Structure 1
Amino acid sequence: MARDLAPEVERLLQNRDPNTKKKAALCSIRIVRKVPDLAENFMSAAASLLKEKHHGVLISAVQLCTELCKASTEALEYLRKNCLEDPFLHIRVLKLMRTLGQGDADCSEYINDILAQVSTKTESNKNAGNAILYECVETIMGIEATSGLRVLAINILGRFLSNRDNNIRYVALNMLMKAIAVDTQAVQRHRATILECVKDADVSIRKRALELVYLLVNDTNVKPLTKELVDYLEVSDQDFKEDLTAKICSIVEKFSQDKLWYLDQMFRVLSLAGNYVKDDVWHALVVLMSNASELQGYSVRSLYKALLACGEQESLVRVAVWCIGEYGEMLVNNISMLDMEEPITVTESDAVDAVEVVLKRYSADVTTRAMCLVSLLKLSSRFPPTSERIKEIVAQNKGNTVLELQQRSIEFSSIIQRHQSIKSSLLERMPVLDEANYLVKRAASTQATVSSVKSAPAVTPGGQPKLPNGVAKPPAAPLADLLDLSSDDTPVTTSAPTTAPNDFLQDLLGIDLTDSSPAGGAPSTSTDILMDLLSIGSTPVQNGPPTSNFIPPGIAETKPVAVTPQVVDLLDGLSSSTPLPDENAAYPTITAFQSATLRITFSFKKQPRKPQETTINATFTNLATTTFTDFVFQAAVPKFIQLRLDPASSSTLPASGNGSVTQSLSVTNNQHGQKPLAMRIRMSYKVNGEDRLEQGQISNFPAGL
């Protein structure tokens, strides 16, 4: 019907009646949308309609031209060559210009002059003028505009930020966030106005302005911007403190190059909004103080003063209590004074008083009370004259209904009263916390990938996979469905000789382990552990809620135990008759796995006089243009094969093949000559913080392995 009616509609576009022309133009739009091939029939008529004086006809003509440009490149070029005063018409024309100039430097150059005139001559004292100016800015940002014109557009948005209308300020902030990618320096000129928007009464404007400020922060302006934000934190609404606190902490951690400045800002944030500071933030602060020996005295004195002034801020209280317990003698004796510091008078009794007040005030917070007890125990060693008083304070919790606090109270009282000979060595300062190790773990935890069904292993600095505590146990699935194999044999777990006992694995992985193997054999595992470990047949894991494996200092000072990655038997049941090879034969290097982003090659070496044993050297190469981080390789073999994985050379794969990661695998085929080597592999890694997962089966091993 559209094809049949098109000639008649085209004829009506030449009608003398403006209303008829308008209706015909609108009908033409529908026809072009349904049948894009007919666009060329309306090009000439659409161009002639742009000369009409009737606004209704002009608006319809502009809409028709826009649709023609979208439907046909031929129409786009025609209108570029052949191609004001109510605002709706202006806006339609500007949208058409944006379509015409997008990706075309020559057309954009012609449009630049028009846009400059519209930008400078349009009045902004009415909403209609502001609408035109906004559309003009959109068009400038959407075409190949000159740098000067883009600066003009950003300046228009800067003026919008001073408008009384909240809607105008909001759309200006949105547009400025896009403009940062085009000209950051031009946006920086309006930093002061944007900061004022952070303090706006409208919550939507506050949040959008805060996001924009975060994008504007760099190494040169981080200190003044942070000061402005921290100053505002003191008077901001309670509803806004959480977002503001998170952004400030992120800025300070990201751009801090001076430890003293970092400490000062974090102490202020803890004092003003400690109840909104996340655990991983103050954990990182504790790690930094542990490593900055020259600033420990300054830290404990600053935190002590902040504790006396702001005792209601939970995170501040925890950090201060920990610090007083570790560096109490520095507080009392004014050790490691900085030039800018004024000496303070704090007695041993004052330090104990501060912790005791916290212990009483936070009677319902088990973590804070536990940290207070540890701090008091350490102070009993730092300040021997206060031992009797501390023993009485600690003993008050012997009858506490919370088992954790009751146990600590009893054990700590025993240490203070009966074990004087070992107390000083037992209660020495904590060893310096491994900052690099903590940062790796924190980065992994903030991008946690634990899902309700399957979980991907985290990565230790040595490249070994390690599942976090608290992994949710996935629902059981039939083994045949899981592996798509016909074998009836139960898979068994094989690992390096350092495999931890079942009870430790059960505690570490949070799953049930049952040993149903014959004596001397490898322990068998349930389908659940198989799913948890390798997630064979799964789709890439999704981001889950952030988790943290950091244990607050002083609460539980246990060291993590490294666990060798488990290798699961998946492929039993494959049979073949392979002749015994010469043990000195050379085996070709194979491409074990290749995708669009990853290539894995295997080279082989036989053990002398041990034909059943093979050493495989795996080489991993990143074919993508983005670096892979937290790279983990896992392998699964049939139960007649024993496999041991050595640590990988690195957990980071450089982009574009610029370097590779290697890992050694030791394989023992207990049915050598009867069954071939078979293996299923799984690789997990992160790209820009996003989790990726690849897996496959290796079926091209050389004969004789």
Structure 2
Amino acid sequence: MLGQGDADASDCMNDILAQVATKTESNKNAGNAILYECVETIMSIEDNGGLRVLAINILGRFLSNRDNNIRYVALNMLMKAMTVDAQAVQRHRATILECVKDSDASIRKRALELLYLLVNENNVKPLTKELIEYLEVSDQEFKGDLTAKICSIVEKFSPEKFWYIDQMLKVLSEAGNFVKDEVWHALIVVISNASDLHGYTVRALYRAFQTSAEQETLVRVAVWCIGEYGDLLVNNVGMLNIEEPVTVTESDAVDVVEVAIKRHTSDLTTKAMALVALLKLSSRFPSCSERIRDIIVQHKGSLVLELQQRSIEFNSIFEKHQNIRSALVERMPVLDEATFSGRRAGSVPGAVSTSSGASLNLPNGVAKPAAAPIADLLDLSSDDAPAPSSSGGDFLQDLLGIDLLPTPAATGASQTPKAAADVLLDLLSIGTPTTGQSNLSTADILSSSQDNKILLANLDGLSSPSLSAQAALPATSAPVLDLLDGFAPSPKKQEVNGTAYPSIVAYESSSLKIAFNFAKSPGNPQTTLIQATFTNLSPNVYTDFLFQAAVPKFLQLHLDPASSNSLPATGNGSITQSLSVTNSQHGKKSLIMRIRIAYKINGKDVLEEGQINNFPREL
């Protein structure tokens, strides 16, 4: 405490700390206690490189102690030391790796966390090799943590695609049942992009399937690859020097998929993927077409609707659409790695499945409910959605970082029963709202004007403005949170004769400028009419242009459709869009808005986000 932030005091302590650190005996607990305090002091006072290395070496000796408590304390201290001198900690990597294999669960877990921090591009290969070897003999309860860390290390530091695929196949073979969905989804994306490794990968998966068919995620990836690249497997295309030749007939390849679909342990996702793979193989292997059809037809009476529907539809392709079957099941286009990685990180609009089933972003995936478009707009993944509460969740307050006063209606309201048709609330994962928050029903949203259908369609990522779901729900009075007020039925156009307000530049980046013009309706000071003008500052034309906005609860927002979805380059034209904002706290709180702009440049998705705080106060 005396040395922290005081360079002179720290300098005076250096000699005595060095003497204590070098002369104290560590064969008794009292000595270890003094050494520990000495290390903590060295780490807390002002920087002295030599002393810090000495302190980290003392912690390295602690790791070799037979006492579990001393080792655990040393691992904790080394975690802190990583931020100060990572290179000195690296010297004790081998000892830390041995701690990962310790019999004590707490030490294993903490050592694994520390080792994860030590991995870099230079040591990733030997460390991954050691961890995968230990994975083979590790306890079942530790396999989950170990598998997650190995997968993360491989994905983060992989030097090339061949090594990445090779290591992931080893993990799938040893602990496939512990691999999370997003991990094997990412593996499929990488495989689809590694065109020169398709043959090697499908052969490696075929071999792995023979010995590790009980690993669910291995079976899924194997089934997908055999469906896509079964012809490469049978014809030994793309053989590498390190491979042993393998003889696989068309019938052998079909056998693998049939085993996957008939295993009693296979879940719905695996069986659904297997049915798609069989349909693809029926085109790639004409000699096995009738056998494949027999396997598919067996599921026409399945009690699982997903499998029954696929079976009936695929059989219809056999019976009535032979002329288009080969085009229908041709090889998947290459999956865009950048887009998929962005979606996992939450930087590109799109649904990311975190369920136990297959993701909609990936081929042959079983359909799951898409991630909520509003949650996506607000950068909230389904995992991060707030827990249901009596107030319906104030996550906009947290998002915008502003102090929202509870409205009387919200604070005094009692919880309403959940309506059967309250689909949007389920989709948003925000629990049951309170009475008095909004008089807008789900049916209102789905039966509103064409403008709102276009907006909902855009938010859902649909290419067409039609909204087929509007007839699917009965009209109910289930209320929706104020978050959705932007989708309310279009208010009647009001005549604008009110006070003029100065225009503002609401948002500006190197590529885009947004200007807001304001007007008020006579006799309605709470409502502000905004004309947004979007200008493209770059030399590229923006296509599929989409503007989205979110406001806190005391505001209600309505967006009209934009004048165009194509924005000309270098300011040679603009897009305009009308908004109206009603401020229930007019005169007390200023307007504030979170925005997201999505567009495409030469087919590539681009996303810009920002927050508008510079509205005129009198609005």
For normalisation by structure 2, the TM-score amounts to 0.70
**Aligned in 2, Cα 1:492/1:381: closer, same or farther, shift over 3 Å?**
closer
1:454–1:531 CA contact under 8 A, matched in 2: no
Query: Is the contact made by 1:112 and 1:145 (CA closer than 8 Å) also made in structure 2?
Result: no
Q: How far apart, CA to CA, are the structure 1 residues paired with 2:297 and 2:281?
A: 15
Partner of 2:340: 438
Q: CA deviation at 1:355?
A: 1.2
**Pairing 1:472–2:429 present:** yes
Matched, 1:395 2:306: no
Change beyond 3 A, Cα 1:619–1:173: farther
Partner of 1:203: 105
1:684, 1:204 → 2: CA distance?
Answer: 45
The range that moved more, 403-412 or 185-194, is 403-412
**Which residue of structure 2 lines up, in the alignment, with residue 177 of structure 1?**
79
Shift of 1:110: 1.0
Aligned equivalent of 2:549, options 605, 630, 633: 633
Map of 2:160 onto structure 1: 258
The verdict on how the C-alpha distance between 1:103 and 1:508 changes in structure 2, with shifts beyond 3 A counting, is farther
Amino acid at match of 2:498: T
SS of the aligned residue for 2:58 comes to helix
Provide the identity percentage: 56
* Alpha-carbon spacing, 1:418–1:492, altered in 2? closer, same or farther (3 Å): closer
Q: Which residue of 1 aligns with 2:255?
A: 353
Q: 2:246 aligns with which of 326, 344, 356?
A: 344
SS state of the match for residue 323, structure 1?
helix
| 1:423 maps onto 2:325 in alignment | yes
Secondary structure class of the residue paired with 2:40:
helix
In the alignment, does 2:500 pair up with 1:589? Answer: no
1:343 is displaced (CA, Å) by: 2.0
CA contact (8 A) 1:380 1:416 kept: no
Q: Distance in 2 between matches of 1:645 and 1:138?
A: 61
- Matched to 1:182, the amino acid is V
Relative to structure 1, the CA distance from residue 500 to residue 320 in structure 2 (aligned partners, 3 Å threshold; closer, same or farther) is same
CA contact (8 A) 2:438 2:480 kept: no
Aligned equivalents of 2:336 and 2:31: distance in 1? Answer: 59
Query: Within 5 Å, which residues of 2 pair with 1:264-275?
Result: 264-275=166-177
**Displacement after TM superposition at 1:501 (Å):** 7.3
Please name the residue that 1:450 is paired with: 385
CA shift, 1:390, in A, is 1.2
1:144/1:343 Cα in 2 relative to 1: closer, same or farther (>3 Å)? same
CA distance in 2 between partners of 1:132 and 1:572 (Å): 77
- Report what 1:56 is aligned to: none
Q: Which amino acid aligns with 2:533?
A: N
- CA distance change for structure 1 residues 635 and 274 in 2, over 3 Å: closer, same or farther? same
Aligned counterparts of 1:285 and 1:224: Cα–Cα separation in 2: 21
Q: Which deviates further from its counterpart, 470-479 or 223-232?
A: 470-479
Shift of 1:305: 0.7
Q: Within 5 A, what are the aligned runs for 1:625-664?
A: 633-634=549-550, 643-644=560-561
Q: What SS class does the counterpart of residue 617 from structure 1 fall into?
A: strand
Instruction: Select 1:216's aligned residue among 118, 124, 147.
Output: 118
Tell me the CA shift for residue 221 of structure 1.
Answer: 1.1
Q: Partner of 1:537 in structure 2?
A: none
Determine if the alignment matches structure 1 residue 107 to structure 2 residue 6.
Answer: no
Where 1:280 maps in the other structure, the secondary structure is helix
Partner SS, residue 320 of structure 1? helix
Q: Give the equivalent residue in structure 2 for 1:232.
A: 134
Matches within 5 A, 1:261-410: 261-362=163-264, 365-410=267-312
Distance in 2 of aligned mates of 1:497 and 1:213:
51
Secondary structure in 1 matching 2:560 = strand
After TM superposition, the structure 1 = structure 2 runs for residues 518-557 of structure 1, keeping only pairs within 5 Å, are: 528-533=479-484
2:52 paired residue among 146, 150, 153 = 150
- Taking structure 1 as reference, are residues 492 and 428 closer, same or farther at Cα in structure 2, changes over 3 Å only? closer
In structure 2, what is the Cα distance between the partners aligned to 1:163 and 1:604?
71
Q: Partners in 1 of 2:551 and 2:448 — Cα distance?
A: 13
- Would the alpha carbon gap of residues 592 and 425 (structure 1) be closer, same or farther in structure 2, given more than 3 Å must change? closer
Q: How does 1:77-116 map to 2 (within 5 A)?
A: 99-116=1-18
Give CA-to-partner distance per residue, 1:623-665, whole Å, 9 cap, x none.
xxxxxxx996336999998633589999xxxxxxxxxxxx965
- Aligned residue for 2:9, secondary structure, equals helix
Superposed CA deviations along residues 114-166 of structure 1, whole A, max 9, x for unmatched, are 00000000000111111110010000001014101100000000000000000
Quickly say closer, same or farther: Cα 1:570–1:592, change in 2 above 3 A: farther
Q: Does structure 2 conserve the Cα–Cα contact (< 8 Å) formed by 1:473 and 1:511?
A: no
The separation in 1 between residues aligned to 2:595 and 2:295, in whole angstroms, is: 51
Task: Tell whether the 8 Å contact from 2:482 to 2:556 is kept in structure 1 after alignment.
Answer: no
- How far did residue 395 of structure 1 move? 1.8
Larger Rg over CA atoms = 1
Q: For 1:430-464, what per-residue CA distance to the aligned partner results, in whole angstroms no more than 9, with x for missing partners?
A: 2222222222222225762323335989xxxxxxx
Which residue of 157, 161, 164 maps to 2:63? Answer: 161
Residue type of the partner of 1:472?
Answer: S
**SS, match of residue 2 in structure 2:** helix
Distance in 2 separating the partners of 1:326 and 1:111? 68
Measure how far apart 1:414 and its partner are. Answer: 2.9
Find the residue that maps to 2:299 and give its secondary structure: coil
Between the aligned partners of 1:155 and 1:301, the Cα distance in structure 2 is 47
1:149-190 CA deviation, whole Å, 9 max, x = no partner?
A: 100000000000000000000000000000000000000000
Question: Equivalent residue for 1:542?
Answer: none
Contact 1:234/1:272 (<8 A) preserved: yes
- Letter aligned with residue 317 of structure 1: V
Take 2:150 and 2:558, find their aligned partners in 1: how far apart are those partners? 54
Question: 1:50-85 CA distances to partner (integer Å, 9 max, x unpaired)?
Answer: xxxxxxxxxxxxxxxxxxxxxxxxxxxxxxxxxxxx
Amino acid at match of 1:341: E
In 1: Cα distance, 2:307 partner to 2:492 partner: 51
**Structure 2 vs 1, CA of residues 120 and 697 (structure 1 numbering), >3 Å: closer, same or farther?**
closer
Residues 280 and 529 of structure 1: CA distance in aligned 2, closer, same or farther (over 3 Å): same
Aligned length: 496
Query: Which one of the candidate residues 475, 498, 515 is aligned to 1:578?
Result: 498
Cα RMSD for the two superposed structures: 4.4
Q: Secondary structure at the match of 1:470?
A: helix
TM-score by length of 1: 0.62
Rounded Cα–Cα distance in structure 2 between residues aligned with 1:468 and 1:258: 44
Residue 549 of structure 1 corresponds to none
> Structure 1, residues 208-249: CA drift from partner, whole Å, max 9, x if none?
000000011111111111111111111100000000000011
Give the distance between the partners of 1:529 and 1:493, measured in 2 at CA.
Answer: 17
Instruction: Give the gaps of 5 or more residues in structure 1.
Output: 1-98, 458-466, 484-490, 516-525, 535-565, 582-586, 595-599, 607-611, 621-629, 651-662, 670-677, 686-691
Q: CA deviation at 1:308?
A: 0.8
